[in-house]
Structure 1
C-alpha cells in the first residue's frame, strides 16, 4: 500500500501564518494569527475551549489572543527563533488535520533569502530557517505534527504566478510585485509570464508593524492596553464604530485613536509608494499582495496614476502567497512506501 506524506505551503509571516494544502483535490487555506506569551494558561472553564500550552526546551509558552504581554514578533529575527517554531506548529493545528508526519514549504523575506551584494541565495539563512523548524516542540495534553522536511522559498513573487499567466502579458511586460507584510516590504520585477526576475528589493524597516505599534501606543493612552492581535483587528475594523468602542475603554478618545491609526496608515502608504517609485519608476503593471496590501493600495494608485486598472490588488492578498505555492507544488507530493 502507498501512503502520502502531506505537504503544507506556509507563508509564516510575523503577524499571521498563512497556510494552504490540498484536500480531496481542493486548495484549503487558513490564516492563523501570532499571539504568544511565556508560561502556561490554566485549563479553560468551557469544555469546548482548547488551550494551547507549548514547551520548547525548558521554556513554556501559551497562545493568548488578548494578553498585552504577548511577545513581539515584528522583527526579522522572528524567522529563526522560538516564536517562529511556535507559530508554524500552532497554524498546523488549526487546519483540522490530525497530527502526522508532514513536509512543509516555508518562506523568508527577500532581504533574508537573497544576498544583498549579488542577489544569490543566502544559504546560511536558509539553513538557519530549516534547522529552526526541525527542532522539537511539545503540546501539553496533545500531539503536534512531525515535520520531516523543510523547503524554503522567497516571499512575494510566487504569489502572482496564476494571475500573470491569465493576464495576457507579453514577453516584454515588466510587472512590479509589491508585498507589504507585518515586518518587511518586499518588491520584485517579473518579466513576461515569469520568464525572468530582473531585480528584487527589500526593506526590513517598513511594514504593517508601523501601524500596529502606533495603534498599541494609542490604545495604551486610552486606558486600553492590548495585544498585537487585538491592535491588528482594530486596524482591520477601524470603520466599525461599535467594535472600536468595545476595544477602547476611554470613550472620549475613540476618535483620537482612530485618527492616529488613519495617520499611520497614510504614513505607511507614503513610505511604500516612495520606495516603489525609487525601485521601479515606470513598470507596465503592478500587483499588490500581503497583509498590508489593502492599506497601501490608494497610495500606490496615486503614485502611478497612468496605470489605472493595471494596478491589481490580488484576491485575498494575505493568503495569495501560500495558495500559489501550494498549487505550484501540488504535483510534487511524494509517495512513501509503507508496509501494509
Structure 2
C-alpha cells in the first residue's frame, strides 16, 4: 500500500515548472512527485552507480529504493512512498525495463495512482504525461488530436497535429500513464494495441507514423471493482504485465501508511502533526478493517460489511478531515469527535442498508470495547 504527497522546481531531468496562482505568487497545493521529492531523486542519482536502461534517470535498483525508502551512504534518508511487499515494487520496476507495459490492478485505495506517479517520476523525471480514463475518454486522448484553426486554414500537417501524452512519451522515450483503463470505452482501449505491440503510432492523415524510441513504456491502472464495466480485450491484456497491489497486511502497517500520508498532507495545509492523534488513527483503521473483513480483529465476532470499500485512502481522508476540524474548531489535538462524522460518511453510503450495518457494529463491537467509550459516544452522537 502507499504512503506519500507530491511542482515548483524542475525535477532531475525534467523541464516543466509549477503553474503559479492567479497572482503569480502561490505554491501548488499538490506538487508533482518529481518536484516534491526532487532532493531525494537528486541524491539517489548522485549515488547511483548501477546500469540504467536507456533514458532512465535512475537505475532499477535506485527506482525501487526511491519507492520503498532507505538510507544512502552519505546519510540521506529516502522516505518510503509505498509500504508493502518489496517484490511487488521490484516486479513493477523490472517490467518497465522490458518491452511490456505495466498494469497496476487493485481495489480502490491501494495506491495504484500513487505508485504510478512515483514510478514515472523516478524513471523519466516527469509524471505528467497522463491520460485520465473516463467513460467519455476519446480516442484522441491516446493517439492525437488536431488544432482545428490550423487544420481548416492549411489542411493536415504536423504543425496542426496535437500530440497526446502517449505520443509525446513515444517520441521522447519517456513513461506515459493511463489512469482507470477499464473506465475507458473498449474501442478506445484498443487504440493501445498497436502502440504496445508494434511500438508505432500511425498517422494515416499524413501518411506518417511515430515510432517509439528506447525508454518508452506505459503504466496503466485499473480498479478490480470495475470488472464488467469495460473489460480489457485478451489482445490488449497480453500487452501488459499485471501487478496486483494488495491492501495493507496488518493494522500496524495501515496505521503507518495513514499517519505518514496524513502528516504529508497536513504539512501542506498547516494542520497539526498526525502523531498527536495516533490513537484516533488506529481506531479509524481498526473500524475500517473490521467492517471491510467482516470480522473483528480478535476473530471472535462476525460483523456485516457495508457497501463501500473502506480503503486506506478513505481512512486518510477521514483523518485529514478530522485534523482540519481539530485545528480550526478544537485545540489542535485529534479526538474522537473530530473523526466520527467522517467515519459515518465513509461507512454509510447506502442510507438504508449501510446505516443498519453501522448501528449494529457500533452497539455490538464499539460499545463493548475497553477504552473506546469516548469514541463510541462521539460516533453515536453523529449517527443520530
What TM-score, normalized to structure 2? 0.26
More helix by share: 2
More strand by share: 1
Q: Which has the higher contact order (CA 8 A, sep 6+)?
A: 1
The structure with the largest alpha-carbon Rg is: 2
What TM-score, normalized to structure 1? 0.28
